[in-house]
């Protein structure tokens, strides 16, 4: 498995006008701030958008963006498996903002939610605390909740996947509206 090409934030900023930028974060994360001109195609919907992304890649360079670079690298590998070359933004939107570049936040858009990584940390920590408290106050078997989360985190690190993020991504505030994906696909077709 090859590592996708990574563009630095300054290079991406100077070339932004010539790039097709695809943001693979959840719609809530996208609404909290994204690169100007970016299209929202969540990671779990990349397969649905392959023909349009392939067409955009045939017409120019595609830059895939997420919060830190991990999901965008995964998306780039998925695209490469289907013959589509794309680059990732080194450090993601976090590095973009840290580099002094503006993030677009639509007015009147959906309420911004926490980044997926933050949602996972909050959920995992809450379940671990709940398991420990119930184990102390009710019955020791509840400590298995904490053990299950610990095992899941180890598995997540080893496989570079996150089942909890997939589950959290299905919550209503993280789910893309069909019109959002359709609008992004229409914009890709028009480029």
What does the alpha-carbon distance between residue 7 and residue 61 come to, in Å, rounded to a whole number? 11
Domain contains 17: yes
- Is the pTM value of this prediction over 0.85? no
- Domain range holding 185? 6-108+176-190
Are 142 and 71 in a shared domain?
Answer: no
Give the model confidence (pLDDT) of 63-93 as tens digits. 999 999 889 999 999 999 999 999 999 999 9
Same domain, 104 and 138: no
DSSP 160-188: T--HHHHHHHTSGGGSPPHHHHHHHHHHH
Note the pLDDT of residue 84.
94
The answer as to whether 170 is a domain residue is no
Both 88 and 22 in a single domain?
yes
Number of domains in the chain: 2
Tell whether 142 and 86 lie within a shared domain: no
Are the C-beta atoms of residues 129 and 50 closer than 8 Å to each other? Answer: no
Q: How far apart are the first and last CA of the chain?
A: 30
71/10 same-domain check: yes
Residue 111 has pLDDT above 80, yes or no: no
* Interval 122-153: pLDDT, tens: 999 999 999 999 999 999 999 999 999 999 99
Residues 104 and 154 in one domain: no
């Amino acid at each position: 498995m090859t590592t996708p090409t990574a563009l630095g934030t300054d290079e991406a900023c100077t070339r932004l006008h010539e790039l097709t930028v695809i943001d693979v974060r959840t719609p809530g994360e996208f609404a909290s701030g994204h690169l100007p001109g970016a299209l929202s195609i969540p990671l779990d919907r990349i397969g649905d958008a392959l023909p349009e992304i392939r067409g955009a890649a045939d017409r120019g360079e595609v830059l895939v963006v997420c919060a830190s670079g991990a999901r965008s690298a995964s998306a780039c590998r998925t695209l490469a498996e289907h013959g589509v070359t794309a680059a990732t933004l080194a450090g993601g939107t976090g590095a973009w903002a840290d580099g002094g570049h503006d993030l677009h936040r639509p007015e009147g858009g959906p309420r911004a939610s926490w980044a997926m990584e933050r949602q996972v940390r909050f959920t995992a920590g809450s379940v671990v605390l709940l398991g420990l408290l119930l184990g102390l106050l009710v019955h020791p078997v509840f400590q298995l909740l904490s053990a299950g989360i610990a095992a899941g985190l180890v598995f997540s690190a080893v496989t570079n996947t996150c089942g909890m993020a997939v589950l959290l991504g299905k919550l209503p505030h993280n789910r893309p509206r069909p019109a959002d994906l359709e609008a992004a696909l229409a914009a890709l077709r028009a480029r």
